[in-house]
Amino acid sequence: MLFEYKDIKREGIGLSSNALKFIMAVLMVLDHCYYYLENMPMMFTYLGRIVAPVFFFLSVEGFFKTHSRPAYILRMYLFAGIMAFGSFLFNNSVGLVQKINNNIFLSLAVGLTIMYVLEYIKQNNRYRTYLYALPTVIFLSTFMLFTEASLYGLMMVFVFYFCYGKKLKMTVFYVVGSLLLTIGLIFEPLSWQTLLDEPQWMMVFAIIPILLYNGKKGYGSKMLQYGFYVFYPVHIWIIYFLKYIIR
């Protein structure tokens, strides 16, 4: 774990964004193995519930720290398009009943766009701005509901954006929001078995790695940065192809 050692030595206690991405990448692979392959331990998807929240949190960090917000947002849409096109080819050539419907890039891109419009409202606090900017936020928020992250993603965008730099406030709103959207929407008597069968509530534990974030990018390079973008669709396509081979 060389990247972690260098991060800690240079930046102090905690996890850098690159260290978090490495950890989440491993958990993401386990989660997608459970989703696409048979006879995988359910623990894989339990662990996977924390992945999306961490990536939403890091996308907000990136939004506030990037040198060019438009370039950052366009890059996310670009990879969303690549993911959609590649998955379309797999879905229509492999011939499996189960289709690839993952595209967290699109959810992240829409979330970033919402934040961009909100920042525009802040900087142009005029009545005329609200007339077209607020309907845009409402439209994008509605569109988010039809992406992979859905209502969970929308909650995370608003919590991490409005609580940026305020750890206690962020923790309270994230934990409460996560539990309300998961356990709060289970319309049956609660029990340990119910919670185990509906593991989405375990997203609440994403607050632990989020609070361990030390605010630094960490050891890495441009190649590593784009490697994370490439890894997401490629690992899903590989797992999906393995499903086809071993069916």
**For the chain, what is the mean pLDDT?**
90
Is-contact 76 112, C-beta < 8 A? Answer: yes
Which of 134-138, 191-195, 210-214 bottoms out in mean pLDDT, i.e. has the lowest?
A: 191-195
> Given 3-state DSSP classes, what are the helix, strand and coil percentages for the chain, each rounded to the nearest 5?
75, 0, 20
pLDDT at 124: 87
> Do 58 and 17 touch, CB atoms closer than 8 A?
yes
Q: Looking up tokens 């992979």, which residue turns up?
A: 148
Its domain, for residue 199, covers: 2-246
Residue 189: phi and psi, rounded to 5, are -55, 130
Number of domains, the chain:
1
Residue 130: pLDDT band (50, 70, 90) is: confident
Answer whether residue 1 shows pLDDT above 90. no
pLDDT at res. 3: 42
pLDDT tens figures, 72-119:
999 999 999 999 999 999 999 988 899 999 999 999 999 999 999 999
Tell me the torsion sign for CA atoms 169, 111, 26, 31: positive
Sequential DSSP letters for 160-190: HHHTTT-HHHHHHHHHHHHHHHTGGG--S--
Confidence (pLDDT) at 9: 42
CA–CA distances in Å: residue 179 to residues 48, 59, 176, 185, 201? 17, 22, 5, 9, 6
| pLDDT score of 187 | 67
Q: Which pTM was predicted?
A: 0.90
In this structure, how many other beta carbons lie within 10 angstroms of the beta carbon of residue 175?
Answer: 15
